[in-house]
Amino acid sequence: MQKELGVKQGELASKENYFAHLQELQARIDSEELVAKIDAAIPNDPQLPALYEFLQSVGGESGLSLRSIAVSQGSPVQGTRLQSMSASLQFGGSYEGLKVFLSDLLRASRMTDIDSISFSNPQEGTGFVFNIRTTSYSY
């Protein structure tokens, strides 16, 4: 009986820890700060001008100059309410600038995936030309 009681007490303690953890997670989800971060990462509408400004500012802060941008409007992401938007960007600048841009883009508040990167060899006296394809999301 004592052995069985010990097993049951261990199970009870484990379940209590589990439910305490769930309550803690629920409190974090309910906090406005977390909701605000999610809203910034995945806005409720595409906000194309804001997306243009976001990509241009991240590129400018990293030392790259935006040469062109083309966005194709969203398509539904299978199994979710999300809409995806693809952007083709062309930047000019240095390889170091590209590394900073990619690092800043991955740490930025807006959820953006990098689909592909290509670049051309610079001619003497010029920088690289980077072609970057990204995907951003909205509800």
Say if 52 falls within a structural domain: yes
Please indicate, yes or no, whether residues 62 and 91 belong to a single structural domain of this protein.
Answer: yes
pTM: 0.63
User: For the chain, what is the domain count?
Assistant: 2
Please indicate, yes or no, whether residues 73 and 100 belong to a single structural domain of this protein.
Answer: yes
pLDDT reported for residue 38: 67
Residue keyed to tokens 């000019």: 92
pLDDT reported for residue 131: 93
Please indicate, yes or no, whether residues 25 and 87 belong to a single structural domain of this protein.
Answer: no
CA angle 131, 134, 137 (to 5 degrees): 160
Averaged pLDDT, groups of 10, the chain, 139 residues long:
90 94 84 67 70 84 88 73 83 89 83 87 78 84
- Among 83, 82, 49, 66, smallest CA distance to 132 is for 66
Distances in whole angstroms, Cα of residue 39 to Cα of each of 60, 83, 115, 138: 24, 14, 23, 9
Say if 116 falls within a structural domain: yes
pLDDT reported for residue 54: 82
HSE value, Cβ hemisphere, 13 Å, CA-based, for 49: 0
Please indicate, yes or no, whether residues 11 and 79 belong to a single structural domain of this protein.
Answer: no
Please indicate, yes or no, whether residues 103 and 54 belong to a single structural domain of this protein.
Answer: yes
Distances in whole angstroms, Cα of residue 112 to Cα of each of 27, 108, 137: 27, 8, 7
Please indicate, yes or no, whether residues 18 and 73 belong to a single structural domain of this protein.
Answer: no
- Among 46, 134, 28, 138, smallest CA distance to 91 is for 134
